[in-house]
Amino acid sequence: MRKYRLKSALCMLMVSALLLTGCGGSGNNSQSAVPEASEESKEANVDLEETDGKNTTEAEDSAEEENAKENESLRFAPEWTKDAVIYEVNVRQYTEEGTFAAFSEHLQEIKDMGINTIWFMPIHPISETNRAGTLGSYYSITDYKEINPEFGTKEDFKAVVDKAHEMGFHVMMDWVANHTGWDCPWITEHPDWYTQVNGEIISPEGMGWPDVADLNYDNVDMRKEMIACMQYWVEEFDIDGYRCDYANGVPKTFWEAARNGLYKIKPVYMLAEDDKALSLLDEAFDVNYNWPLYDTLIAVAKDSKPAERIQLYIPDKYPEGTYALNFLDNHDKNSYEHTIMEGIGKDAIPAMFALIYTIPGVPLVYTGDEIGLDHSIEFMEKDPIDWNSSDVSYREVLAALGAIRSRNTALYSGNYGGGIEYYNTGNKNVFCYSREKDGNTVKCVLNLSKREQTVDVSSIFEGTETVVLHGQGSEVLDIEEHAISEEKLSGEITLNPWEFWIAIEDR
């Protein structure tokens, strides 16, 4: 088991002014045009445990001890994840064509923003039975080993993955293990692989998803096939990790067995769409969603909470080596609640990005965030992004933040990086903190409000630090192609609305 530790080492007392979340013919989204998964990979270990409403079988009792021993060597995320910055790709809407081939032409633009990790939303065929909308939801999967023909072929997907790898990216896939679409061959070939009521297969209860059928994790054969499907993409396409949809809707022991099965091929990065079941990070996942932080950042941006509240939602106790995904936007929020412009606001976006790039965790950028896309992207229809629709671009600030993150070990994720120390300067709207690792210290001062703020930074800066990024509102200052500025910070300073400073010191 992972050991717990405080990641917010040196955190000051929280007082009134704190300153600165089968496959083959039967399974969820998949296709088949490349070799079948090997028989060896299909013999993945399977552990079973009851978690969040999913049933279990007695098989877990005999598997748990063996699995725990094997897990001892699988505890930490691959080293390449230490400075990961994840970009969520909505292939359908990224280009007019909505294909892998068209998207691949934009990889250099993404790399130029300092992004080094690509996450593809589900790429599998979408069921037509009970389909929602014209094109259907990516999360209603027909076959876990196939490719959605809307996006291209397996050869096209292999080409974009290979190109991304050649350019230095790592590639993650979205995995939907809780349910399949109604056209999945498993429905007719293995009805016992699904949850049934009065002999009828049902949709996940209480979720409002009539376009999908709920999988039955009592069934050991289904679990093995699901793991074999996950192994298939790692073996045949060299996938580097998975973002796992509705992770707490599936038994924890399944995810632990899946991680074991995947690690037989190579170390993979595992991201759980969950913020409730911290135990998922014990053995199965490296990262989970920081929903509470997201909600707080929205509240701060809308001036309904002071910046001091943010400290409460930067996790300070996680299983050792694990951490949170920090974001300002994602496909769910954009399509169903509000755009990044509506949620955060034009002038606040750079400061908020500066925050999520420098606090503990890994930052996420969603398709369109780089231009502050003020359009809720359709989920079930064709709705390509108009990349000329915005009068602002955040590409430069993202590139600067990516460079700062990669060059400073203090900002690395998990055990690779440093803890966080908060500074109480008496101003609840200015968030001040530092992170340190192996003599490398990064110090941040952010006015996270729409009003001018005055703050004394004497307790933070010694005059020996070097400013590496300074931003104000939607304008980014003092980047100079990410070179180091000679400007110094000391004493009492006045910050304009959404103005921020990032400085470093090496000893």
At 5, the pLDDT band (50, 70, 90 cuts) reads very low
Please count the residues of the chain: 507
- Tell me the DSSP string of 180-243: EETT-THHHH-GGGB-EETTEE-PPTTS--TTEEEB-TT-HHHHHHHHHHHHHHHHHH---EEE
Q: Which residues contact 353 (CB under 8 A, 6 or more apart)?
A: 328, 363, 394, 397, 398, 401
> Average pLDDT for residues 70-74, to the nearest whole number?
47
pTM: 0.86
Residue 456 has pLDDT above 70, yes or no: yes
Least confident of 142-151, 269-278, 305-314, 455-464: 455-464
Least confident of 66-70, 326-330, 385-389, 487-491: 66-70
Q: Which residues contact 394 (CB under 8 A, 6 or more apart)?
A: 349, 350, 353, 369, 370, 371, 372
At 195, the pLDDT band (50, 70, 90 cuts) reads very high
Phi, psi angle pair for 91, to nearest 5°: -60, -45
Q: What torsion do the CA atoms of 203, 207, 212, 215 make, to the nearest 10 degrees?
A: -60
Give the closest residue to 392 by CA, choosing from 482, 473, 315.
473
At 29, the pLDDT band (50, 70, 90 cuts) reads very low
At 477, the pLDDT band (50, 70, 90 cuts) reads low
At 194, the pLDDT band (50, 70, 90 cuts) reads very high
pLDDT digits 0-9 by tens, 372-386: 999 999 999 999 999
> Average pLDDT for residues 98-126, to the nearest whole number?
98
65 CB burial (10 A radius; 0-12, 13-18, 19+): exposed
At 22, the pLDDT band (50, 70, 90 cuts) reads very low
pLDDT digits 0-9 by tens, 52-68: 445 445 445 444 544 44
Please, which residues bridge with residue 365 across strands? 87
pLDDT at 40: 37
Residue 399 has pLDDT above 80, yes or no: yes
CA gap 218, 200 in Å, rounded: 16
Phi, psi angle pair for 261, to nearest 5°: -65, -40
At 476, the pLDDT band (50, 70, 90 cuts) reads low
Residue 335 has pLDDT above 80, yes or no: yes
pLDDT at 75: 60
Residue 361 has pLDDT above 70, yes or no: yes
> Average pLDDT for residues 173-179, to the nearest whole number?
98
pLDDT at 317: 82
CA gap 458, 477 in Å, rounded: 23
H helical segments located in 77-195:
91-94, 100-104, 107-112, 154-166, 186-189
CA gap 425, 428 in Å, rounded: 8
CA gap 283, 298 in Å, rounded: 31
Q: Which two tokens stand for residue 287?
A: 């990262």
Residue 491 has pLDDT above 90, yes or no: no
Q: Are 322 and 285 in contact (CB under 8 A)?
A: yes
pLDDT digits 0-9 by tens, 227-268: 999 999 999 999 999 999 999 999 999 999 999 999 999 999
Percentage of the chain with pLDDT > 90? Answer: 76
Q: How many CB atoms lie within 10 A of CB 304?
A: 10
pLDDT at 315: 87
Instruction: Provide the mean pLDDT of the chain.
Output: 86
Residue 494 has pLDDT above 60, yes or no: yes
Please, which residues bridge with residue 455 across strands? 493
CA gap 378, 376 in Å, rounded: 6
At 480, the pLDDT band (50, 70, 90 cuts) reads very low
pLDDT at 481: 41
Q: Are 437 and 418 in contact (CB under 8 A)?
A: yes
Residue 16 has pLDDT above 90, yes or no: no
Single-letter code of the amino acid located at 223: R
> Average pLDDT for residues 312-323, to the nearest whole number?
90
Q: How many CB atoms lie within 10 A of CB 426?
A: 12
**Please, what is the Cα angle at 329 between 453 and 162, to 5 degrees?**
125
> Average pLDDT for residues 345-354, to the nearest whole number?
96
Q: Are 4 and 187 in contact (CB under 8 A)?
A: no
Give the closest residue to 116 by CA, choosing from 172, 169, 173.
169
Query: At which residue do the structure tokens 């699901």 appear?
Result: 226
